[in-house]
Amino acid sequence: MGNLSSSDRNKIPKYDDPSQIESGLIQFNDAKCNGCGLCVKACPADTIKLVDKKAKLVEPVDCMACGDCISICATNAITLVKSYRYSGMYKTIDEGDLSLPRL
């Protein structure tokens, strides 16, 4: 960072700037969720919570579409519906179908 000009620094996408970063998105199937809470513990972005013993995304959503919650859910109650995307200085290279990177 020390060698970057201030204008270059301003181009670096900021995690909480929606104009530069688009969060990933998952969906829960409430009928399959048994409220075990494993996805809450597994999520590195800390963006899942239990509400009335059902998993829900925390607002604002900070999901980075890593797939950890999907991998750990024994009842297959979670589906990845949107990838994490960068804009501005970076571009997303993988434009293919959604897949689980950490399985």
Measured CA distances, 20 to 10, 37, 81, 92, 95 (Å): 11, 31, 20, 11, 17
- Give the one residue of 20, 49, 56, 64 binding ligand SF4; rule: CB under 6 A: 64
Q: Tell me, by CB under 6 A, how many residues bind ligand SF4.
A: 29
How many whole angstroms separate alpha carbon 100 and alpha carbon 84?
12
Provide CB contacts within 8 A for 87, sequence distance 6+.
13, 19, 20, 21, 22
| CA angle, 54 then 79 then 18, to 5° | 90
Q: How many residues does the chain have?
A: 103
- Per CB under 6 A, does 21 bind ligand SF4? no
- Shortest distance in whole angstroms from residue 8 CB to ligand SF4: 28
By CB under 6 A, residue 27 contacts ligand SF4: no
Of the candidate residues 13, 20, 36, 98, the single one contacting ligand SF4 (CB under 6 A): 36
Q: How far is the CB of 100 from ligand SF4 (least distance, A)?
A: 9
Interface residues toward ligand SF4, by CB under 6 A: 24, 26, 28, 33-39, 42-45, 47-48, 55, 63-69, 72-73, 75, 77-78
